[in-house]
Amino acid sequence: MKRFELIEHTADMGLVAYGHDLAEAFANAAYGLFSIMADLGRVQEKESRQIELKEDDTEALLFEWLNYLLYVFDVEMLLLKRFDMERFDGSGLKAICYGEKYDPSRHRLKTGVKSATYHMMKVDRENNRVQVILDV
Amino acid sequence: MATWNGPLEKIDDYRWRIPKSYKQGMRVPGIIYADADMMKQIRGEQALEQVANVAFLPGIVNHSLAMPDIHWGYGFPIGGVAAMRVDDGVVSPGGVGFDINCGVRLLRTNLMKDEVSSKMKQMMDALYNSVPSGVGSKGKIRLKGGELNEVLRNGSRWAVEHGYGRPDDLDSTEENGEMAGAEPASVSGRAKERGLPQLGTLGSGNHFLEVALVDEIHEPDIARAMGINEVDQVMLYVHCGSRGLGHQVASDYIKEMVRAMAKYGIDLPDRQLACSPVKSPEGQAYLSAMRGAANYAWANRQCITHWVREAFCRVLGIKEVDAGLELIYDVAHNIAKIEEHQVNGQKQKLCVHRKGATRAFPAGHPEVPGKYAQIGQPVLIPGDMGRASYVLVGTEQAMKETFGSTCHGAGRLQSRSAAKRHQSGRDVLESLQARGITIRAGSLAGLAEEAPSAYKDVSSVVGVAHNAGISKIVARTRPIGVIKG
C-alpha cells in the first residue's frame, strides 16, 4: 500500500495519506510531512520522542499532530521518520516518534513547511485516508 | 484542477464582480482586479470560490477584494483584502496567514552597475555567509531571557538599539517597525521557543535577498524623493517574515478560534477561515499576539539589513556612508490592522486583513512618513527572480476602493511540484546565470520550485494595479544577484 501521495495546489502543497486504520494514516501523514522537508533515506532512528495530544475532534487532532511535529523540528532540528501509534482514539493520540538530529554533512533538507492548514482537510474514516494542505 | 464556473460580471477592463447572490450567506459581493487574460487563468483554479467564502465573514464591509496577483491559497485567497467592522465584525488569523508580517524592504545605494558587476560572485558569497538562510535556519543572535519579549514589543527599535541598523531606518518602515498593542503574554511558549534561535534568518520558500539595478524610471520626481535617481543604480531587496514564531502564533489562534466559533454562533464554509469577534477575548488576544509576531518580523528584517550593509561594504571596500544603503521603505504584506476608512460616506473603524496584499496609502495620509508626504507611501512589489520588481506609490483611488491596498507580488502560476516537473533546479540556475544573474541557493529543488516560469509576469500584475488606479508605477528594477533560502 502506498503510504502517501502529494497533491497539487498552486501556492502550497497537499498530501493524502493512507493506512489500514486511521492511526496508520496519521502516522503516514507525518512521514509524508518529513519526506517533503528532507531526504529521509539517510536519517537513522537514533532518538525518540513521545507525543501525547488531546483535541476536540479528528480534524483538530490532525491539524495539531502535524503542527506539533513542525514545532519539534523547528526547535530541536529533529528529523523524524518512524511514528508508532501507541494509542489512537480519533480525538487523542500517543505516539513514539523516531529519528535523529539534522546533520548537514549527511542529510539533505528540501522544502520548508510553515504549517498544516484546515483548508480542504479531509478525514475519510471509511477508507482510512486523510488529506491536508500544507503552507510551504 | 477544477475550473471555477461561478458568476462573474465584468465591471470594466480591470474589475470583475462576484454577485452577492452567488452563494447564500455572502454578506457582500466580491471584486477582483484583473484583466481578461489573467481572468482566464484565475478561473482555472478555486481562488474565486475563496473570494466568495471570505464574503461570509461577519461584519465585512463593501466587498471581499482580490488584488491582481490573486491565486489559490488556503482559506483566504492570496492577494485577498477584507475589512470588518471593529464594533460587530471578526478577525480571522487565516486572513493574515501563517507567515505574519511577511514583507519586503528596499535599500538604495549611491553605486552604479559598473562599480559592482565585476564583484558579484564575491558579493553574493559574502551576503550568503552573512545572512543565515534555508529550512530551519538558526540565527547568530543569542537572545537572553526576557529579550525576546522586548523584540515582540519594540520590533525594529529593539534591533536598532542593539546595533542592528540606523535610527533613520525606523522612519522608513511601516508602523515604524514597532506596531503598538503587542502583548508578549499572548504569544505561546511554543511560539517563543521557535522564535528564540531564528531571529536574523531569512528562512526558505519564496524568501530572498536580491541585488538589483534600476531598469526604468516612470515617475522621475517621485523616484528622486525616494533616492532612486538613474537607470543602472544598485538597489537591494530583503523579503522574509516572522519565521517559526509567526507560524506558531497563527496555528495556535486558528485552533482556539475553531473552538470559539460555536460559542459565537459563527458558521463558515471553510474551517481555515476560523474567526472571532474583534472585540472578543479571543480576537483581542490574537491581535496582540499577531502584533508581537509582526514586530518580530520587522526586527528580523532590520537585523538582516545590518549584515547586508556590512557585507556589501566589505566586498567593495567602501564605507557605509559612501555606499548610501538607506532604507527606502519596508512594507508588510500579511497583516491585520485597525484602520479608519470611509464606508457609505462615513468614517468607520475597521479591521483590515491583507493577505498577500500591500498597504498603499496616498500622499498626505498621516501614516505616511513625512519625507513621503508629497508622493504617497512607497509600495514594493517583488517579481520572480529572473524578470523584474517594481516600486509604486499609494493613491487616493486605493483609499476609495481597496481600503488603501494593492497587490504584493507576481502571484504563482504553477504549483511547486509542477514547477519541478517543468524544469530542474540545475536548468533554472543555468538559465538565470545566462541572463547575468548570480544565484546562491540552499537547495536546487527549492530553486526549481521558485523558477521564474512558475510565476505570473509581475509587469502585467502591476500594470493592472496601475491602470485600475489603486497604485502608481514609479520605477522598475531587474535582478543581478539573488539568494534563495
- What 3 state SS string does A55-66 have? CCCHHHHHHHHH
**Assembly ipTM:** 0.95
Mean pLDDT over B359-376 rounds to 97
Please report, for residues B143, B266, B425, B443, B452, the alpha-carbon distance to residue B432 in angstroms, rounded to integers and kept in the order given: 38, 49, 11, 15, 9
Q: Which residues of A touch B205 (CB under 8 A)?
A: 111-112, 114, 136
Rounded to a whole number of angstroms, the distance from the CA of B23 to the nearest CA of chain A is 19
Nearest to B244 among A38, A74, A109 (CB): A74
Provide the pLDDT for residue B241. Answer: 97
CA–CA min distance B348, chain A (Å): 31
Nearest CB to B1: which of A8, A70, A114? A8
- Percent of chain B residues topping a pLDDT of 90: 90
pLDDT(B301) > 90: yes
Mean pLDDT of chain B: 96
Contact between chains at A112 and B247 (C-beta distance less than 8 A): no
Q: DSSP for B403-445?
A: SSEE--S--BSS-HHHHHHHS-HHHHHHHHHHTT-EEEES-HH
Task: State the average pLDDT over residues A33-54.
Answer: 96
Instruction: Taking residues A44-70, report their average pLDDT.
Output: 97
CA atoms within 13 A on the CB side of B329: 30
Pairing between β-strand A13-18 and β-strand A129-135 as defined by DSSP bridges: antiparallel
- Please answer yes or no on whether A109 and B274 come within 8 Å at the CB atom: no
The residues in A 66-85 lying below 8 A from B, measured between CB atoms, are 67, 70-71, 73-75, 77
Which chain B residue is nearest to residue A65, measuring alpha carbons? B251
Distance from CA of B195 to the nearest CA of A (A): 9
Distances (CA, A) of A57 to A18, A54, A90, B255: 19, 9, 7, 11
Per-residue burial over B424-463, b = 16 or more CB atoms within 10 Å of its CB, e = otherwise: ebeebbeebeeeebbbbbbbbbbbbbbbbebbbbbebbbb
Instruction: Give A72 to chain B, closest Cα distance, Å.
Output: 9
Instruction: Inform me whether the pLDDT recorded for B266 exceeds 70.
Output: yes
For the range A124-128, what are the long-range contacts, defined as Cβ-Cβ under 8 Å and sequence gap of 24 or more?
Answer: A125/A22, A125/A58, A127/A18, A128/A18, A128/A19, A128/A20, A128/A21, A128/A22, A128/A24, A128/A25
How high is the pLDDT of residue B145? 73
Percent of chain A with pLDDT over 70: 100
**Residue pLDDT, tens place only, B411-428:** 888 888 888 888 999 999
C-alpha distances (whole Å) from A11 to each of B336, B414, B415 are: 21, 8, 6
* Cβ contact, residue pair A110, B205, below 8 Å: no
Strands (E), B304-433: 324-332, 334-343, 346-355, 358-359, 378-381, 389-393, 405-406
CB contact under 8 A, A10 and B205: no
Q: Are B109 and B228 in contact (CB under 8 A)?
A: no
Q: What does the pLDDT read at residue B442?
A: 82
Q: What is the pLDDT of residue B1?
A: 62
Do you know the residue count of chain B?
485
Average pLDDT over residues B16-43: 97
pLDDT of residue B216: 98
Confidence (pLDDT) at B187: 98
CATH of domain B9-413+455-484: 3.90.1860.10
Q: Which of A76, A52, A115, A104 is nearest to B194 (CA)?
A: A76
The total of other beta-carbon atoms located within 10 Å of residue B39's CB is 17
B362-373 b/e (C-beta count within 10 Å ≥ 16 → b): bbebeebeeebe
| pLDDT at residue A10 greater than cutoff 80 | no
Task: Report the alpha-carbon distance of residue B88 to residue B84 in Å, rounded.
Answer: 8
d(C-alpha B254, C-alpha B257), whole Å: 5
Which residue of B72, B255, B258 is in closest CB contact with A9? B72
- Between residues A64 and B2, the one the model is more confident about: A64
A74/B136 touch (CB, cutoff 8 Å), yes or no: yes
Residue A136's CB is within 10 A of a number of other CB atoms, namely 21
Could you tell me if B337 and B352 are in contact, meaning their C-beta atoms sit under 8 angstroms apart? yes
- 8 Å CB contact between A89 and A15: no
pLDDT of res. A110 = 87
pLDDT at B413: 86
All residues of chain B having their beta carbon less than 8 Å from the beta carbon of residue A111 are 135, 204-205, 416, 445-446, 449
Q: Is the pLDDT assigned to residue A90 strictly greater than 70?
A: yes
Active site residues of B: 408
Of A64, A133, A135, the CB nearest to B255: A64
Residue B188 confidence class, pLDDT cut points 50, 70, 90? very high
Q: Smallest Cα–Cα separation from B32: which of B4, B72, B69? A: B69
CATH of the domain at A26: 3.55.10.10
| B357 vs B363: CA distance, rounded Å | 19
Host domain of residue A70: 4-135
Task: Give yes or no for a contact between A32 and A64, defined as CB atoms under 8 angstroms apart.
Answer: no
Is it the case that residue A11 has pLDDT exceeding 90? no
pLDDT beyond 90 at B138: no
pLDDT band of residue B57 (cuts 50, 70, 90) is very high
Of B74, B250, B415, which has the smallest distance from its Cβ to A8's Cβ? B415
| pLDDT above 70 for B133 | yes
**Contact at 8 Å (CB) between B180 and B292?**
no
Residue B375 has a pLDDT of: 98
d(CA B165, CA B129): 18
Q: Do A135 and B259 touch (CB under 8 A)?
A: no
Stretch (H or E) spanning B313: helix B281-316
Question: Contact, B364 vs B88, CB < 8 A?
Answer: no
Neighbouring C-beta atoms of residue A82, cutoff 10 Å? 17
Looking at the structure of chain A, the number of domains it has is: 1
User: Which of B473, B465, B474, B466 lies closest to B68, judged by CA?
Assistant: B465
Residues of A in contact with B258 (CB under 8 A): 56, 60, 118
- Which residue, chain included where needed, has cell 491565486? B71
Cβ within 8 Å of residue B414, ≥6 positions away: A10, B422, B453, B454
